[in-house]
Amino acid sequence: MPETFSARSGLDLGEGTEFVNGETCKGISYPILTPEGDVDTTRDFATIEVVKRYPASGLEYSQNNGSDEFVTITAGEGYLLKLKTSGYMSRIALKEGSRVLIRRGEAFAWWQTEWDETKQPLAFDMVCSPPFDPAQYTHVEHDEYVGSSKKRGE
């Protein structure tokens, strides 16, 4: 089987920093280095694994309000759920080699297809542009029965 193209192919990366986003998502973030060895201030890179669903609550969606996220699936299978302003959601099937774009401000969730302990987590490489900042990240709750959404805590 040919090697899957990855966003990390051809990138020079700085030292990684581990992170945990709740109980179902973990990863390592890296600065991208320029050919001169400086940190690229226009984008950054992360490797991420999701088990089951992220965010974990079935009515919750993440929202990156500051960066576009360019994703390449590197292992596992699952779905990217995108919440629409109409109250509906789109479901994009993912497998190794799939590529997706999440635009800043879109509400989304990652869903691992098989939750069996023998299955690989849904793993992906992500390039954020501009670089990711946890302060720009929010979660929204969605009540699919009435087709409305609200920010968590309202």
**SS3 sequence, 86-124?**
CCCEEEEEECCCCEEEECCCCEEEEEECCCCCCCCCEEE
**Res 144: pLDDT:** 44
Instruction: Please state the rounded mean pLDDT for residues 58-83.
Output: 92
Domain limits for position 115: 12-151
CATH assignment at residue 81: 2.60.120.10
**Does residue 29 form part of some domain?**
yes
What SS3 state is found at 135?
helix
Instruction: Work out the end-to-end distance of the chain between its first and last CA atoms, rounded to an integer number of angstroms.
Output: 49
**Does residue 42 form part of some domain?**
yes
**Res 27: pLDDT:** 95
**Does residue 5 form part of some domain?**
no
Q: How many CB atoms lie within 10 A of CB 42?
A: 10
Give the single-character DSSP code of 37: S
**Res 92: pLDDT:** 93
**Does residue 131 form part of some domain?**
yes
Stated pTM of the model: 0.82
**Does residue 146 form part of some domain?**
yes
Q: 136 — phi, psi (to 5°)?
A: -90, 0
Cis (ω within 30 of 0) for the bond into 55? Answer: yes
Contact in structure between 21 and 54 (CB atoms under 8 Å): yes
64-74 pLDDT, tens digit per residue, is 999 999 999 99
- Amino acid residing at 10: G
% of the chain exceeding 70 in pLDDT: 81
Q: Which range (3-17, 56-70, 78-92) has the least confidence? A: 3-17
Closest CA to 102 of 76, 136, 127: 127
**Does residue 6 form part of some domain?**
no
Residue 87: band (very low, low, confident or very high) from pLDDT cuts 50, 70, 90: low
Q: Which range (9-13, 16-20, 63-67, 100-104) has the least confidence? A: 9-13
**Res 81: pLDDT:** 92
Q: Which residue has the higher pLDDT, 9 or 104?
A: 104
- Amino acid residing at 110: W
Q: Total structural domains in the chain?
A: 1
**Res 102: pLDDT:** 95
**Does residue 3 form part of some domain?**
no
**Does residue 7 form part of some domain?**
no
CA separation for the pair 103, 129 (Å, rounded): 10
In the predicted structure, residue 52 carries a pLDDT above the cut 60 = yes
Closest CA to 110 of 134, 91, 137: 91
**Res 147: pLDDT:** 46
